Amino acid sequence: MTEYVRDGAEIYRQSFAMIRAESDLTGFPADLEPVVVRMIHASGQTDLTDDVVATPGVVTAARAALAAGGPILCDTNMVASGITRLRLPADNAVRCHLKEPGIADLAERIGNTRTAAALQYWRDDLDRAVVAIGNAPTALFALLDLIDQGWPRPAAIVGAPVGFVGAAESCAALAERTDLEFITVTGRRGGSAITAAAVNALASTAE
Catalytic residues: 41
Q: What is the DSSP string of the chain?
A: -------HHHHHHHHHHHHHHHS--TTS-TTTHHHHHHHHHHHT-GGGGGTEEE-TTHHHHHHHHHHTT--EEESSHHHHHTS-GGG-TT---EE--TTSTTHHHHHHHHTS-HHHHGGGGTGGGGGG-EEEE-S-HHHHHHHHHHHHTTPPPPSEEEE---SSSSHHHHHHHHHT-SSS-EEEE-SS---HHHHHHHHHHHH-S--
